[in-house]
């Protein structure tokens, strides 16, 4: 089901968010719709999960697409492995809403969790692609507002370089079937709007001061054109004193973890994410 289907259940046209079908249905996970700071949201609750530990999921889709339903199963697989709850929400999308609308919404969702008594150290932000970049910028905004930062950040193929400057666009250009430089530049332009700056630190954290951010684990495919986004972000974070683990998966493409439950490479990646974040959230089983 796509976001269009959420708004208009009677709609029978083409579903442009069917990429959620890549993910197999996890067993033993319940889904409950919830209002998150005025946005459609969903609790993703594995059987026996710790109620006071949360993965706050910022879905990918270039800030142009994505929904509860493209990512609920992926979050279900990860939350089940980590033994915690997950929370999904639907931020405003470009081109109707441009930066910083998405960051405002992500920050509101993070504050919503804090206001409900979830300790910041018991929250891990997790996001893929555009959502991966937002896992960093929401911390920058939280720091700016004087809010406590989350305990950890899990980034899957993060997209951060809005000016599409990574050399991997060239070196992996023949390996990546979709994320060519021109396509990504078009998406960035829609997100930033007519007056947006691709070097705005709140949109592109490669230009931000990253000191003090949460421990961060980054996964990226070795064959994707956004490989250098992950490498450059990890390097800048390390130089700022952030605890960073970067893992490159040879032969994998952008957000390959979406094949959870169908591909052993995706399942292995999620196992590693969960093993890393459990002790940080004190969610050891």
Q: Which residues form the catalytic set?
A: 129, 224, 254
Tell me whether the omega of the peptide bond preceding residue 244 falls within 30 degrees of 0, making it cis: no
Q: Please tell me the distance from the alpha carbon of residue 2 to that of residue 219, in angstroms, as a whole number.
A: 26
Burial environment of residue 8 by CB neighbours within 10 A (0 to 12, 13 to 18, 19 or more): exposed
Q: Please tell me the distance from the alpha carbon of residue 23 to that of residue 37, in angstroms, as a whole number.
A: 28
Could you count the other beta carbons within 10 Å of the beta carbon of residue 18?
12
Could you count the other beta carbons within 10 Å of the beta carbon of residue 228?
21
């Amino acid at each position: 089901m796509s976001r269009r289907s959420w708004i208009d259940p009677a709609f029978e046209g083409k579903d442009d968010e069917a990429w959620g079908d890549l993910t197999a249905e996890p067993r033993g996970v319940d889904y409950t719709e919830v209002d998150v700071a005025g946005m459609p949201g969903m609790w993703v609750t594995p059987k026996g999960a710790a109620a006071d530990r949360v993965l706050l999921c910022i879905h990918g889709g270039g800030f142009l697409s994505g929904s509860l339903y493209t990512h609920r199963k992926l979050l279900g697989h990860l939350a089940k492995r980590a033994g915690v709850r997950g929370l999904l929400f639907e931020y405003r999308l470009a081109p109707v809403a441009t930066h910083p609308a998405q960051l405002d919404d992500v920050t509101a969702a993070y504050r919503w969790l804090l206001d409900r008594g979830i300790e910041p150290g018991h929250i891990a932000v997790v996001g893929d692609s555009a959502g991966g970049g937002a896992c960093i910028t929401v911390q920058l905004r939280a720091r700016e507002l004087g809010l406590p930062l989350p305990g950890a950040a899990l980034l899957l193929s993060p997209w951060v370089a809005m000016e599409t400057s990574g050399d991997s666009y060239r070196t992996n250009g023949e390996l990546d079937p979709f994320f060519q430089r021109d396509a990504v530049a078009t998406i960035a332009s829609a997100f930033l709007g007519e007056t947006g700056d691709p070097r705005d630190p709140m949109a592109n954290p490669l230009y931000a001061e990253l000191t003090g951010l949460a421990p961060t684990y980054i996964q990226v495919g070795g064959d994707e054109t956004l490989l250098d986004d992950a490498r450059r972000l990890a390097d800048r974070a390390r130089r700022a004193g952030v605890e960073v683990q970067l893992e490159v998966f040879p032969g994998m493409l952008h957000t390959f973890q979406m094949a959870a439950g169908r591909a052993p490479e995706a399942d292995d990646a999620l196992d590693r994410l969960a093993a890393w974040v459990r002790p940080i959230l004190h969610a050891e089983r």
